[in-house]
Every structure is written in C-alpha cells, then in structure tokens.
Structure 1
Amino acid sequence: MLTLRCWQNGGGDLKQRKKGLWRRVVWAIHHNSRAWNDIPVKVSVAGPWKNMYSIWQPFLVANIDLKSAFSVAVGDGKNTCFWLDSWVESIPLYLKFPELFNEEAVKDCLVQDRWSSSDLGLGSAGTRSELGPTAANQLQQLQLSLSNRVGYVGADCWKWRYDDSGVFNVADIKCILSSINRTRPINVFEWNNWVPKKVGIVAWRAEMEKLPTKCALASRNVPVLNQMCVLCGDYAETCDHIFVSCCFAQLIWQILAGWCRIPPIFAFGIKDLLTLHASSSGSRSKRKVIHAVILVAFWSIWKSRNDAIFRQVVPNVTRSIDEIKSLAYLWVKNRSKVVALTWEDWNRFNLDLTWEDWNRFNLDAML
C-alpha cells in the first residue's frame, strides 16, 4: 500500500502538473520517442518509479487497470493532452484512432489546441491536410464522438474511476482487493485490546512456532550449544514445550485455573490454551478477562525464559504468578476502564458483580 500511495502521488503529478519537476524528470528518463504511453516506464532503468509502476500488473487480477483508472473532466483543456490522456473514453484517443494519430504533427498537443466546446469542432492546425481513407474515416468517428460532449466551466479535473466521488484513497483499493480471491486462514488469532499489543504478539508468534527458541535458532543454522529447555532442563526447547508440556508452564496453568475458578487445564497444544476462554462459563466480559490472563501468562513465561538465559535468573513459579496477577490487573483495569475493579476482588477473582454493574452502566448509557 505504500507503493500504491507513492503511485498515487507520482501518477497524480504526471497527470495534473505536466510542467512540474517530478513529471519532467520521469518523462525525461522513461519516455520513449517511439511509443506514446501516457505513463511511461523503461524496465531497464531501476529506481523508485519502476517499483511504483510494477504494481500495475498484479492489480489487473482485481480488474483494476491503473493505466485507465483516472479520467479527466475537461474544462479549459489546458491540462489535458488531446491524444495521450483519457478524456473522451476510458482509453486515450491515440489507441482508438491510431491511423489518425499517425497523421498528427504535434503528438502531445492539448485539448484546447484541437477541440472547442463552443463550436464542437476539431481543429486541423496540427493534422495534415490530405488524409488516407482509414484516417479520414477515423476523423469522422472522432468528430462524431466529440459532438456529443459538452465542456465544463473551469480548469480540467482528474477523477478516480473506481469511486463515485472521483477521489482516490488507499482504503478503497484495499476493500476491492480484499474481495478478490481472498481465502480465510484455518486458524485466526484472537487479539485482546485489554492487554498491550506486545503481550499478544508473544502468543501469536508462539502459535506459529516463530519465537526464537533454541530449536528454532538451530534450524536456522544459528550455533546453539545446548538445545535443552532452560526452565526444566529435560526436553528440547520449542514453543510447544515451553508453553504447554514444560513442568514449569504446567504448574503455572494449574495455579491460574484454580485462581480463575475454571476446570483444570489439560492442553495438548498452544491452540488449546488460546481458545480456553471460549468454553469457559460466565459473561462475555469475564471470558475476555480469562483470555487476557492467558495472554499475560504467555508473556510472563517467555520473559522468565529470557531472564534465565540472559540474566541467569532462577525461574520461580510464585514470582511468575504474582507478576501475571499484578500486570493483568493493571492492564485490564485501565484498558477496560472499569473503575470499580478493586485489587481485593481481582485477587479472589470475584468479578461477577463488578462486571454485571459495569455492563448495566453501559446499557443505561446506551439507552
């Protein structure tokens, strides 16, 4: 999308400010005198303009042709090329009337030089007096097309074809692209806005086995002297082991299950832990709290692992549980904006009354 934003700005300069410095630089470098593309590019010349132009081909899959995506509402005709710009139809006139264009003496002439909305005529100052039969026939067709057009008052105005307002924005392109050949992934990670993004990222990467564990580093040819888990020392360190099968993590999950008043946790994979809240009893808000606690536990376990490796801190279950409870309380209380949530209720996980009052307050506010 950054490339598309640059294309919007760069392509807009080519269309709207034909005397601008950016347009003259691109035209001088990429224009081919033997071709008349309105947006020129030389694939042999590397640089930002080539990268910006390269998105044209993939967009054709979504039926978006950036070459004809902009059209112009002609006013005074001072900023629109008669043959090279799309103003009569969706394609430039030089493509629709090639024989007549060959007879044109000034290829980059402006609309004001060739067409007048007052007499609906086609000027002949730049065309040869004697035309061949094909060119003469195309001239008649062109005059017929122009006779049905009415000029606007004011300056020429460029418009984006794929939006009714005529204004280009990246959000519309994203909406169009999202509806083309979009496949929903099998596993969709559920984010929780009651904890910081950095906390959710740890669980998100762990589910994909993308954390830099010892086994993951070794698979990338990073020299690792000892691949055993630093928390238990019994098995090789992988994401599944650290967060699921490690005795350190299992003890944390069982303590949290007792604190959150849910059945004992028996997980066979990381996904079982991340979807545990969905099958829990209670209100929607309480399930979201449980989900937040689980994400904080992921973050705390990974932090304990890093502390043990890089700071030689001995892992301690009690310290990790206290950290999970305190950090989860601060984040949930402040991010959910539940002022009535006290540390005493949180420490006993007595949230039913608190969340019922909060939900009732929100319902009264909506009414």
Structure 2
Amino acid sequence: MHMLPKLQLKRLMHMVIFKSIWEIPTPSKVIAFSWQLLHDRVPTRDNLILRGIITQDTGGICVGCEVFPESSRHLFMHCKVAHSVWYEISKWLGVVIVMPSNLFHLFDYFSAAAFSKKSRKCFRLVWHSVLWSIWKARNNKVFNGIVVDLWKLWRW
C-alpha cells in the first residue's frame, strides 16, 4: 500500500473541506466568509498589518482577550473568548472538544463528531454559525464599542 506524502494528504483534506463548506444550508455570505477565513483572507489585525493598512503601533492586539496578537487562528480558536464559545457549543452538542491546531481540523472534527449525514450537516452549520458570530461580535466591539456578552454569543 502506497502512503500519500504529508503535503499531498493535507492538500486533499483542504480540497474536501473547501468542497464541503458549500454544501451546508447557510446564507451564502456566511459560507463565503468561512471560505475566506480558511484561506486566511479575513481582515484580522495581523492581515491588516501585513498589507500595510494599519501599523503595529496602532494595535495588532486581539480585541477579544486584549493580550495576544489578533490572527485568524487566535481570534477564532485560541482566544479565551473563542475558546469559551467552542467549549460551550461542544457541551451543547454533547461532544468533547480538544481544540485542534487550525480551522481545517476544527471543521473536520465537527464533521466527524456527527453520528449521521443529517447531523453532520447540522454540526457543520454550527461551525459556520460560531465563526460568523465571533466575527460579528469582534466587529461590534471594534466599530461600535459594543462588547457582546459571552453568554449571548454562544446562545445566539
């Protein structure tokens, strides 16, 4: 049996996930956002600094935890705010979560945690919804100065 090299396996996984995210009954703007997020094309502070839109001096710190630099991976997975939301969502779904290293693995985890084809669609819908909710809460704080209560964020 021939084993695929690690890089080819990673590309294959990414292709499957990119195809899968479009199969969920979710508003197209939410799916497009998830697609951009997986490509790391969302205007998080690290991406804005990278593109010269803001400078490190004007603030590259995460608006959620106000401690670590704001990257896609941090903002949507490892920030204390996002981590709490994912923890509560996984409790609500009745699954145990160990936060993976990236959003592809998180999508794969939610897909694999489902027990049927119908529940897989639901779990993937939750994945999209949580990402979208975190982004909307982040933008509400950045642009309107409104801090969304964690309880409301995961109980949407």
TM-score by length of 2: 0.83
Q: Secondary structure at the match of 1:275?
A: helix
Query: Which residue, out of 27, 49, 57, partners 1:196?
Result: 27
Give, as a single letter, the amino acid of the residue that structure 1 aligns with 2:95. Answer: I
Unaligned 5+ residue runs, structure 1? 1-184, 324-367
Aligned residues: 139
**1:239-278, aligned counterparts within 5 Å?**
239-278=72-111
Q: Shift in Å at residue 294 of structure 1? A: 0.8
Percent of aligned positions that are identical:
24
Q: Shift in Å at residue 217 of structure 1? A: 0.9
Partner of 1:231: 64
Give, as a single letter, the amino acid of the residue that structure 2 aligns with 1:255. Answer: E
Partner of 2:40: 209
Query: Which residue, out of 140, 143, 151, partners 1:310?
Result: 143
Q: Distance in 1 between matches of 2:112 and 2:24?
A: 20
CA contact (8 A) 1:277 1:288 kept: no
CA contact (8 A) 2:114 2:123 kept: no
**1:1-367, aligned counterparts within 5 Å?**
186=12, 187-188=14-15, 189=18, 190=20, 191-224=22-55, 225-323=58-156
RMSD: 1.4
Q: Shift in Å at residue 262 of structure 1? A: 1.2
CA contact (8 A) 1:267 1:273 kept: yes
CA contact (8 A) 1:213 1:238 kept: yes
Q: Distance in 1 between matches of 2:72 and 2:114?
A: 28
Give the ranges of 4+ consecutive aligned residues of structure 1 lying more than 4 Å apart after TM superposition.
none
Query: What is the CA deviation profile of residues 301-353 of structure 1, one whole-angstrom value per residue up to 9, with x for unaligned ones?
Result: 00011001000011321111122xxxxxxxxxxxxxxxxxxxxxxxxxxxxxx
Unaligned 5+ residue runs, structure 2? 1-10
Q: Shift in Å at residue 281 of structure 1? A: 4.1
Q: Distance in 1 between matches of 2:80 and 2:67?
A: 9
Query: What is the CA deviation profile of residues 164-184 of structure 1, one whole-angstrom value per residue up to 9, with x for unaligned ones?
Result: xxxxxxxxxxxxxxxxxxxxx
Give, as a single letter, the amino acid of the residue that structure 1 aligns with 2:41. Answer: K
Higher helix share: 2
Give, as a single letter, the amino acid of the residue that structure 2 aligns with 1:215. Answer: D
Q: Distance in 2 between matches of 1:196 and 1:223?
A: 30
CA contact (8 A) 1:229 1:242 kept: yes
